A and B are shown apart, each in its own frame.
Chain A
C-alpha cells in the first residue's frame, strides 16, 4: 500500500480528461430513393405541384452545387441582346433529369424540369409541358417518375369533389373577440381551416395580424374567434381590417403526410444537428413523398374592431 496519492490523483484526472473522438458516419448498403411531391387541385387557380428529389448518403457533400449559366435578354436601350454569366444553385437532392408523366387513363401528360431562374431551384420543380393541363374533379391520375439511373416511383390519386363555404351562414362583417361559425359542404374526413389577414391590404395587414388555424375532423363547421395582434397605433388608425377565410378539404394522404402527428415517426434525439424520421411516404409506390389532392374555397370578410 505504498503509493503517492497526489501523483496518482493527478495522473488519473489527466487520463480521465481525454477528448471526444469523432468519426464520419457511413451509410451502410445505401441505395438512393426518389422523394416526390405531387399535389393536384382544381382550386386556387389550378394546382399542379410536382417536385422530384432523392435521398443522399450520410457521407459526401450537402447543400447545393453551383450551376453556371448564361442569361441573355434584349435591351432596347442598346438595341442588342445582352448576356450575363450567372450562377444558380441546385440542391444535391434535386433530380433534374427525371421522366415525369401523369395519365388519366386516356391521355398522358409529360412534365419537364422547370429551369426558370426566378424560381428557387432547391427542390426540383417539374411543370406540365402542356400548359393547359388542369386537374379535373373525379378523375383518377397515375403518376410515373423515372430517372436515367434506374430509380422509379409511381402512384395514383383521385381528385375529390369540391368544397364550398356556406357564405349565407357567415356574417358579412365580423367582430373581434366574438364567436362565429364557418360551415362548408363537403364529405372529406379532414378539413383545414385557416383565417388570416389578407396579405395584399398593405399597411392594414401588418397593423392587425390574424392567423388562426384548425384541423377539423369529421365535421362540417368550426366555431372561431378573431383575436388580432395589433400594433399600438392601429387602435386609432384601423377601425376595420380584412381577413381571408379558407377551407381546405384534403384526402387522407394529404392529412397523413402534412398534418398528422403520427405521420412521420419523429425523433428529436439528434442534438446539435436536426430532426429525423423513418421516411414519410403517402401514395408513392417505391419511394418517399406524397401524391395527394385537395379542394379549397376562400372568402373574405371585414372585421370590425
Chain B
C-alpha cells in the first residue's frame, strides 16, 4: 500500500528527512543524466549594457522548436535535429540576432546572444515580450511593468512603482495619501513585496505617501494579484517582485533626477575584470532636501540661532546597490543591498547662566541647561547574496542568503541640568532625565535553495526549500533618572515587551507542463511550517491555460495560502504612519486564504491584450485589533507590568470581483484601461458582515502614454472609483456609565454626549475622481546622454475627493445657540503641479 496518511504528510521530520533530500537528488541526478541530450542553451542580453532580456523569442529557423528566455535571460531548446541550424533571437525594440550552429558533432551548444536596441520594428519574426508572455506564462492575474511604464505614469511629485500599480485592475487604494496596495480584498500586510527576492516589510516613506523603491534603479516589476504559484509563500494576498537593474556591464553611465522634494542619483558600470571574472554594479540613492533648504535659509537669515528653532524636522533617504560577478559562464554571484530610512527629529535647547532674577538673592551663579529631543525614525535594511549556477543546460540552481530588517522607534528625551553656586560657596548640582521609547523591530534572515529543471520541452520543474529566522521585538519603555548632589535615583518601567523568534520554513515543488499543444498547466505544492504551531500546512496550487486559438486563451487558477505574520494596526484607520508587525500568536490558528480565479485572455494582432478575470477569495482565521485598543492598559496594570497590545479578535472575510484590462505595451500610444468590480466583506462578532475601509465597488482607470514627437511625450491617468465606506452618525444620545470608581459616591451616571451610529461602514464618501497629466520634453545631451524636463499636474480638475469627514458642533454666536452637528471633509490631493528634471549620462 502506497497510501500515505495526511498526518504523515504534514509531519515535519517526514518532509525534512525524506521528501527534501529525495527531491534534490532526483533533480540533480536527472539534470546530469540529461546533460548529454541535444540541446542549445544560453543567455540573451542587451548589447549596450549587458542587462539580461526576458521573454525573448529564441527559435530554430525552419523548425517549430523554440523557447522564451526567463527572467534571467536564460533559455533552453531541447530535442533538436543533429544538423547545422540557424538560431534566431528576437524581441521588439531590438534588432534580431542570428547564429549558425553545428549540432552534428555535439550534444549541447552554449549560445549567448547580444541584442542591439533599435527603434525599428516590423520584421515578421519579431514579436513582443507581451506576446511571449501570453504564450508562455500560466500565471493568471499577472501584470509586468517595465521601467518606462513605471516612469511615465503620473504620480505624486515623482514616479513611483506603487502609484502605478494602484492603477491596475484589482488594486485599490485607500486614499491619495497612501501608496499601499489593497489587492482583491487583501490588506497591505498580505502582500509579499520582494526586492531582488528579499522581502521588504514596510516599503513606504512618509506614512505611505511614497514607496521606498527608487524607480531609477528598477528594471521591471512583476505584480501577481492572486493565484500565485507554489514558489511564493508566507503571504496570502498578492506578490510584487521588483527586480533592480544589474548595472551596465559595458561602460560607466548614470542618471540624475531632481524633483520638488528629492534628488536621485544612479551610477552603474562594469567591475574591473580579473581573468574570467567580470561583472557590473549599480548604485542608486535618493534623499529629500527640504530640511536642508530650510536650514540654509534659516542660517542665512539668522533664524537658526534663535531659541526654539527646530528647522524642518523630517527627511528620508534610500540607497540601493547591486553587484553581479560572473565566474565563468556558469556561475553568477549577485550581491544586493537596500537601505531606506525616514527621520523625524527635533531638538529644543535652552542654556542660561546667572539670570538677572537671582542677582538680588544669595546666588553667585546658576548654570541651567535644558534639552528636549524627539527622534522618530523608521526604515528597512536588506542585504542578500545570491549564487546562480548553471549545473547543466537543463538544471539551474539558485542559492540565496538574505536578511531584511525593519526598525521603527520613537524616542523622546527630556533632560535638564542645574548647577547653582551660592555666595557662601555652597554648590548645588542636579539633573533630571526622562526617556520614553516605543520601538518595533522586525528581523528576517532567510536561506533559500531553488532548482529549475527542464527535462524536456514540455516540462519546467522548479523545486525549492526556504527557512526564515524571524525576530519580532515590540517594546514600550519609560526611564527616569534624577541626580542631586551626588545622589542618584533611577527607574525604568517596561510597559510593553513582546519578543518572539519564530522560524518559518517551506518546501515547494511545481511543474509547468505543456500537457497538450493547447493546454498549459502549472501544478505545485508548497508545505510550510511555523515554529509557534506544530503541524506543517499544505498549500496546493494549480493554474491552467487553455488556448482556444493562438491568440485566445482561457485561464484558471486555485490555491491555498497561509500567512503567519500580521500587523497590529486598527483596521479602521485610513492613514497609518507605519505597520507594527507581529507573529500569529501560538494560541491562534494561522490565517489562510483560498483563491479561485478564472478568466479569458485575448491578444490582438497589434499587441493589445484584453483580459477579463473573475475571482473569489476567502479569508479564515484573520485577527484584527480592536479599534481604540492601540495601547490598551490592562485593568489591573501596575507600574512596570505588561500592557496588552495583542487584543486581537477573530475575523473572517470574503472577496469576489470581476476585472477587465485592455493593455497596450508597444506602439506610439501605450497604456491600459482597467475596470474592477469588487466586493469585500469582513465578518466579526461585534459587527457582523461589513465592508472594510478600503472597499471600492467600481474602479475605472485609464492610463495612456503618448509619444507625441521625438522631443515631446505626454501621459495621463484618469481614475474613477466608488467612494470608500465610512460609518455614518445618525443621532445623538447619552450612554449610562457605572461610576463604581475611585472618587465617585454615586454609583451610576452618564458619560458625555455620544453618537448613535449606523451600521459599520454602511455609508460611502462621494465617488473618487482624479485626472492627472504629465508632459516630458526630452533633449539629447552629448553622444549618448539626454535631458528630460517633466511637468505634471495632479488632479487637474481639482475635484474634491473626501479623505475623511470630521464633525464639529455648529454654534450661532448671534443667537447664542447650538445649531447641531456639522461635518467637513478633509480632502485628498487638490490640484498639484510639480516639475522636475532628469539627466542620463
- Which positions in A face B, CB cutoff 8 Å? 1, 5, 8-9, 12-13, 15-18, 20-25, 27-28, 30, 32-33, 35, 37, 39, 44, 47, 49, 51, 53-63, 91, 93, 122-123, 192, 194, 196, 199, 209, 211-215, 225, 227, 246, 248, 257-259, 261-262, 264-280, 288-290
Contacts and interface: CB of A to CB of B under 8 A. Distances in A.
A51 to B, nearest CB: 7
B832 interface: yes
A30 B737 CA distance: 25
21 contacts: A16-B831, A21-B800, A23-B823, A33-B733, A51-B750, A55-B733, A57-B731, A62-B809, A63-B818, A93-B732, A93-B734, A123-B749, A123-B750, A214-B635, A248-B740, A265-B686, A266-B628, A271-B806, A273-B809, A276-B756, A276-B757
B820 interface: yes
Nearest to A93: B734
A209 B806 CA distance: 39
A224 to B, nearest CB: 8
B627 A55 contact: no
B755 A276 contact: yes
A18 B827 CA distance: 10
Nearest to B807: A273
B740 A192 contact: yes
Nearest to B791: A5
Contacts of B736: 37, 51, 257-258, 289-290
A272 to B, nearest CB: 5
A274 B754 contact: yes
B576 interface: no
A206 B809 CA distance: 38
Given A268-B627, A270-B755, A275-B754, A56 B733 contact: yes
A276 B806 contact: no
B18 interface: no
A290 B758 CA distance: 20
Nearest to A1: B712
A229 to B, nearest CB: 9
B822 A56 contact: no
B730 A27 contact: yes
Contacts of B732: 55-58, 62, 93
Contact of B726 (A225, A269, A275, A279): A269
Interface in B626-663: 626-629, 635-636, 638-639
A212 B637 CA distance: 9
A278 B810 CA distance: 23
B711 to A, nearest CB: 9
Contact of A59 (B755, B820, B831): B820
A20 B747 contact: no
B753 interface: yes
A225 B641 CA distance: 13
Given A24-B810, A49-B748, A280-B735, A62 B730 contact: no
B734 A53 contact: yes
A273 B747 CA distance: 27
Interface residues of B, number: 71
B826 interface: yes
Max count, chain B CB within 10 A of own CB: residue among A30, A33, A91, A275: A275
Contact of A24 (B627, B752, B753, B821): B821
A262 B685 contact: yes
Point out which of B687, B819, B831 has the most chain A C-beta atoms below 10 A from its C-beta.
Answer: B831
A272 B808 contact: yes
Nearest to B636: A214
A-B pairs with the 5 shortest C-beta distances?
A: A276-B755, A16-B830, A59-B820, A258-B738, A16-B831
Nearest to B737: A258
Contact of A35 (B686, B734, B822): B734
A18 B754 CA distance: 31
B731 A27 contact: yes
A213 B635 contact: yes
Given A12-B831, A24-B810, A266-B627, 10 more contacts: A12-B793, A22-B808, A25-B807, A28-B730, A192-B740, A215-B635, A265-B757, A271-B806, A273-B755, A276-B756
B572 A267 contact: yes
Contact of B735 (A21, A259, A277): A277
Secondary structure type dominating chain A contacts: mixed
Given A24-B820, A25-B821, A123-B734, A5 B835 contact: yes
A290 B735 CA distance: 10
Nearest to B749: A123
Contacts of A30: 730-731
Given A16-B798, A20-B825, A49 B747 contact: yes
B690 to A, nearest CB: 10
Contacts of B753: 62, 274
Nearest to A27: B731
Interface string B790-811: 0101010010100010111110
Nearest to B711: A1
Nearest to A16: B830
B833 A9 contact: yes
Nearest to B835: A5
Contacts of A215: 635
A270 B807 contact: yes
Contacts of B748: 37, 39, 49, 51
B667 to A, nearest CB: 23
Given A53-B733, A194-B740, A275-B754, A199 B745 contact: yes
B331 interface: no
Contacts of B754: 274-277
B824 interface: yes
Nearest to A250: B738
A22 B824 contact: yes
A160 B735 CA distance: 24
B821 A58 contact: yes
Given A39-B748, A273-B806, A93 B733 contact: yes
Nearest to B726: A269
Given A265-B686, A290-B736, A272 B806 contact: yes
A270 B806 contact: yes
A295 to B, nearest CB: 13
A25 to B, nearest CB: 5
Contact of A18 (B755, B758, B830, B833): B830
A57 B341 CA distance: 48
Nearest to A36: B736
Nearest to A259: B738
Given A1-B712, A44-B747, A270-B807, A18 B798 contact: yes
B742 interface: yes
Contacts of B793: 12
B132 interface: no
B760 A211 contact: no
A1 B709 CA distance: 12
B729 interface: yes
B791 A59 contact: no
A276 B756 CA distance: 6
A53 B734 CA distance: 8
B531 to A, nearest CB: 31
Contacts of A264: 735
Given A20-B827, A269-B726, A58 B636 contact: no
B156 to A, nearest CB: 13
Contacts of A23: 822-824
A15 B734 contact: no
Contacts of A35: 733-735
B817 interface: yes
A274 B733 contact: no
Q: Which of A1, A5, A12, A21 has the most CB of B within 10 A?
A: A12
B741 A25 contact: no
A33 B730 CA distance: 12
A265 B835 CA distance: 47
B658 to A, nearest CB: 30
A37 B572 CA distance: 31
A113 to B, nearest CB: 16
B731 A56 contact: yes
B727 interface: yes
A212 B636 contact: yes
